[in-house]
Structure 1
Amino acid sequence: MTELLWGKEPHRTRGPKPAITLTEIAQAAIAIADAEGLDAVSMQRIAGELPVTKMALYRYVPGKTELVAVMSDLAMGSPPARPDGPWRESLLTWALDLYDGFMRHPWLLQSTIGRRLLGPNELAWMERGLGALSDIGLTGGEQMDSILVVTSHVRNIAQQSATFPGHTVGLTEEDMQQALAEIMATEAPRFPHLVAAMSTTAGSENQGLEFGLERILDGLELLVKSRDSCAEPN
């Protein structure tokens, strides 16, 4: 698994030149997952998209578990290059970039959970996030925990917003808001607090993304300032 994730494809000294590469296999799998969901990805289906047989694919990757790991890291890609800035601004931008990546490939929300080996791109995302926190007075463990909390919030909002091909029929945000407004118009006495809150709500569902991120960053900023005050001489 490690060799595959880190781009070390099997070395062949004999036989004909390979017809395809592991990257091409992963790219075909990504296209299927983007269009139809992760469950639609199979060796048989991928073989139908490439000039090889299903059995030939196993010369490049042992099975679907390994393939999902490779395609996930490839789909994650490298984090966008961003200019250096204040830690809070840098971490917020990092989180929004991560959210955009999940929305481009919603199946990543399924494939990047649990204990598993990480590839170079996913580690590069962690490195970029930790870089924003590296010199603000947090311990290494606190930096890692901060990234975990931010990532968890991003994943949760993305999970609520994404449409998963092959699993659900997604509604647009406008459809959902209109349907909810119609229900509230007739059921207002049952939900007075919800009606009152909705009457002053404006903007998109992603407000929750940025609101939550700002509150997380508020907490980190308070922690950093408390460390600074303790470090000041009496």
Structure 2
Amino acid sequence: MAEERSLPPMLRRMWGREPVPRRGPRPRLDLATITAAAIEIADAEGLAGVSMAAVASRVGVATTALYRYVDSKEDLLTCMADGVAPEPPDPAGLSWRDYLALWTRAQRDILLRHTWLLSITQYAPPLGPRRLLWLDRALAALAGTGLDDGEKMNVASTLTGYALTDAALARAAESGFPELDQSGVEGADDYGELLAEMLDPATYPALSAAMRGGAMRGAAGWTDDADFTFGLGLLLDGVEQLISRRSS
């Protein structure tokens, strides 16, 4: 029998597996309260405003007292990335495709509401109970499709990556692109016109033709919900084709 893996202290706390002391005063705080306070600060001030001292002040304790519950700011960020996730969408009555479309859009919306998440979740696998519940629901939606568990995991990670990329682009567009400040480019439409002027058709025949043909025309901003929907449809079309191959 394999030896049970020892969880780091923060994961034990997140999953409620830390031993409860039988003696001594009852703790004034809990990890959920601390995490919620840190999320409030991040939403208002960004991650730059999140410090152990700031969170301690928000919950009304000395900074040293906070270390009884959170060992470091890095651990606190891990808790925040999990604690900010709401319940995943209800799959009742939805096909796998409709559910995963809703699931992916909901992930992107969380990132757009809490843009500081983009700095700490881009490459981190889910570890907390809330985010892993989202993964569980995605896998459950694919039950009966004929995909094996590894393929289901890859589908979920691909859709999560798409939500992250789209949210990051939207955030960057909102902040502006410093390298374009002097060019008069304010959106994708302007960007297309700039490229049409810059590109040499002999070197960039396909891209030049697309820009001169107005591929970016009509796009006032850098991101559009129709673009997100189009890309999501492409991904789900691919999953549907994979399912079809497995069934045949």
Q: Classify the TM-score, shorter chain.
A: 0.7 to 0.9
Which residue in the other structure is 2:159 paired with?
Answer: 150
2:211 is the counterpart of 1:194:
yes
Aligned residues of 1:157 and 1:206 also touching (Cα < 8 A): no
Aligned residues of 1:29 and 1:46 also touching (Cα < 8 A): yes
The secondary structure found in structure 1 opposite 2:224 is: coil
Shift of 1:115: 5.3
Which residue in the other structure is 1:213 paired with?
Answer: 232
Shift of 1:132: 1.5
1:155-170 → structure 2 map (5 Å cutoff)? 155-162=164-171, 170=175
Of the two structures, which has the highest relative contact order with CA contacts closer than 8 Å and spacing of 6 or more?
A: 1
- Report sequence identity in percent: 36
Shift of 1:169: 7.3
Q: Separation in 1 of the partners of 2:227 and 2:164?
A: 12
The secondary structure found in structure 2 opposite 1:225 is: helix
2:33 to 18, 24, 40: 24
Letter of the structure 1 residue corresponding to residue 239 of structure 2: L
Alpha carbon RMSD of aligned pairs, Å? Answer: 2.9
The secondary structure found in structure 1 opposite 2:146 is: coil
Q: Separation in 2 of the partners of 1:197 and 1:114?
A: 32
Deviation digits for residues 116-152 of structure 1 (CA, Å, limit 9, x no counterpart): 6611111100011111111111111111111111111
Question: CA 1:86–1:105 in 2, change beyond 3 Å: closer, same or farther?
Answer: same
Q: Separation in 1 of the partners of 2:174 and 2:236?
A: 34
Q: Separation in 1 of the partners of 2:194 and 2:31?
A: 56
Which residue in the other structure is 2:202 paired with?
Answer: none
Shift of 1:207: 2.5
The secondary structure found in structure 2 opposite 1:24 is: helix
Which residue in the other structure is 2:14 paired with?
Answer: 5
2:50 to 41, 53, 62: 41
Aligned residues of 2:89 and 2:102 also touching (Cα < 8 A): no
The secondary structure found in structure 2 opposite 1:28 is: helix
Question: CA 1:69–1:212 in 2, change beyond 3 Å: closer, same or farther?
Answer: same
Shift of 1:8: 4.2
Q: Separation in 1 of the partners of 2:139 and 2:64?
A: 42
Letter of the structure 2 residue corresponding to residue 223 of structure 1: L
Aligned residues of 1:19 and 1:51 also touching (Cα < 8 A): no
- State the TM-score, normalized to the length of structure 2: 0.77
Aligned residues of 1:26 and 1:74 also touching (Cα < 8 A): yes
Aligned residues of 1:19 and 1:52 also touching (Cα < 8 A): no
Aligned residues of 1:10 and 1:60 also touching (Cα < 8 A): no
Shift of 1:188: 4.9
Q: Separation in 2 of the partners of 1:206 and 1:169?
A: 14
Residues 205-214 or 140-149, more deviating: 205-214
Which residue in the other structure is 1:129 paired with?
Answer: 138
